[in-house]
Every structure is written in C-alpha cells, then in structure tokens.
Amino acid sequence: MVDLVSTGISGLDAMLYGGIPKDNQVIVAGGPGAGKTLMAFEFLYRNAKAGNTSLFFSLEEDPKRIISNAKSAFPEFKDIDKIIESKKLIVTGSDITSIALKEDPAFEFGRLIADIEEEIEGSNATRAVLDSSTALELIVRDPTAYRRSMWALVANFRRLGVTSMLTSEIHSPDRSRLAFRPEHFIFDGMLVLYQGGEEARRVQSLEVIKMRGYKHSFVTAPYDITPKGFRVLSPESMNR
C-alpha cells in the first residue's frame, strides 16, 4: 500500500487519488502570478495545521514577505502567525544568489543543501518547500553539474524522509508551448499551473504531469485562489 501525504488543497488530493506518495519530491511549475509559491505555502500550512512540522525555504525572496503575501492571498488562514509561533511552520531562507559569484558553485550548492538538511533535521520537518529552482539554476550553470546537483538534492530529501515541493518558472503561460526541463525528469512528481485561454478571459488550470508511485488524474482542471485557499475544480473532486 502506498503511503500518501494529503496536500490539504481542495480538489488536488482528489486529482492525486488521495495525495502525494510519501517522500516524493514534486515540481510545481508555472508562470508569474500563477500561484506556485502560494500553492507550496498552502501545502505546508495544511500539513502544519494537521500537526506535522513543515519547512519553507526561500532561495530569493525575504521570508517575511512570503508570509505577508500568504496572509494577503489567504485572509481566512487566520492562524498563520500562531502556527509559525508554534514552530509547526518554519519559514526561512537564504539569499542564495549571493553564492553565484563564488568560486566553486557546486561546492556552494552542496553547502546550501547541507544547511537546508540541517534545518530539516533540527526541526524534524516532514514536509519542505524550496522556492525556486531558478535560483538553483543560476548557481550551478553547467548542465551536467546542474543535473547532478538536482539528483543530489532529491536523494538527500528522500533520505531525510521529507515530502517536498520545488517551485519552477515556465516561460510561456500556455500548455501548447510547455517545454520540459531537466528537473522535470528528475523529480518524482510535477504539477503545472497554466494561465491559458485564447479568449479575452484567462483561465487558470492545473495539470498533474507525473506522480511516481501512484495514479493521478489526466484532466487539466481549472483552479482559483480563494481567501480559504486553492480550489481545484477537478472532475474527481466533483464526483464526491
């Protein structure tokens, strides 16, 4: 039997037939404003509320700003501060772009991973978010080194027993222009947030591209971001 981690996100668990297989490392890809960071945040918030320690590691943005953005987007998550105070939800980070100018980026990348690892072990976190992969890519520019670093990251997170989300930027809002990148192949799962629609009204929709170890929906489901969190209108969630 697969051990599933509920995302707690409305409609998404249904698309995943229960949740993300435990210890899976999952890409959340999307354009600007698609809600990648917010979805990753809600994933941790829901888990923290359920009593599981969760770590948000920002690689560029100020952690305080991550929290205030989440509060603005989700006004009904009234207990964010309380949960953070209780240490169930840890929002931290390191401006890793400063590493990019150093001499041995692979070494620095390794040290960053070691720092995150320490944070995870110190806090006994079982869920983690890294925001975003672009920052990692700017540190390790050689394609072989980047690929190796991503494999190492995935292996270390598995070893630590965390189920994670890594946000990833895409350069076109449409599904018809989706182009796969190395990390999409390396990670266990991949969700994409599209901002599509040829008509005068954009429709935001989510697709599960892959989820290793368990079945998932093949439907591209509309979503919106409500004060109470994401709402993914998957047929799987309708039939309930």
Q: Quick check: 94 binds a second copy (CB under 8 A)?
A: no
Q: Quick check: 31 binds a second copy (CB under 8 A)?
A: yes
Straight-line distance from the first to the last Cα atom of the chain, in angstroms, rounded to the nearest whole number = 22
Q: How far apart are CA 35 and CA 20, in angstroms?
A: 19
Selected binder of a second copy within 49, 115, 186, 231 (CB under 8 A) = 186
Q: Quick check: 143 binds a second copy (CB under 8 A)?
A: yes
Q: What is the dihedral of CA 217, 9, 185, 187, to 10 degrees?
A: -130
Which region among 6-14, 48-56, 115-123, 165-173 touches a second copy (by CB under 8 A)?
A: 165-173
- The minimum distance between CB 75 and a second copy, in angstroms, equals 8
List residues near a second copy by CB under 8 A.
Answer: 2, 21, 31-34, 60-62, 65, 68-69, 72-73, 95, 97-98, 100-101, 132, 134, 138-139, 143-145, 147-148, 151, 155, 158, 169-174, 176, 178-180, 182, 184-187, 190, 195, 198, 200-205, 207, 209-215, 218-221, 225
